Amino acid sequence: MAAAGAEPCGQPLEPGRLAVYFCGSIRGGREDQALYERIVARLRRFGAVLTEHVAAAELGARGEGEEAAGGDRFIHERDLAWLQQADVVVAEVTQPSLGVGYELGRAVVLDKPVLCLFRPQSGRALSAMIRGAADGLRFQVWDYKEDEVETMLDRYFEANSLKQVAASPSPTT
């Protein structure tokens, strides 16, 4: 499934370093782009971020600029190749996005540990398909406030091991 040229747009992969797949809305809306920049910056502490482009300010309100990579088929195949490489998936799910939902479903099928971050203060309701997927093990959904995002990521990744993190039912345990 690896697409030609499916090199991560983030940091190069190093042996022993986590490969992190970050999901955030692109064509579904770019309102949280600045927050995505903060998330990607923090994720770099814990591993190579395969999908740094999600935070790019250059992407237009409907993802303009992403198509330059080679069209929808190329983007799909490239992103699935990165998802297969990933050790962990982190998704900011406050801005509804069909693509993020699709990526999360694929991550579950691939048995990847998943952390979904949602801001209830946004006034939005999180899809039952996302919140309901939380199993207390591999798939986590954590509510947070925007000023807590770095702390939440630290809590998730600074556990003794990713397996231990994936077994934590909440960010405070």
Annotated binding residue 1: no
Helix (H, G, I), strand (E, B) or coil at 116: strand
Annotated binding residue 46: no
Annotated binding residue 36: yes
Which residues make beta-bridge pairs with 18? 47
Annotated binding residue 116: no
Annotated binding residue 26: yes
Annotated binding residue 129: yes
Annotated binding residue 75: no
Annotated binding residue 102: no
Annotated binding residue 130: no
CA–CA gap between residue 106 and residue 171 (Å, rounded):
24
How many C-beta atoms surround the C-beta of residue 69 within 10 A?
Answer: 15
Annotated binding residue 150: no
Annotated binding residue 62: no
CA–CA gap between residue 47 and residue 65 (Å, rounded):
26
Intra-chain end-to-end CA distance of the chain, in Å: 37
Annotated binding residue 103: yes
The annotated binding site is made up of 21-27, 36, 103, 127-129
The annotated binding site for substrate is made up of 21-27, 36, 103, 127-129
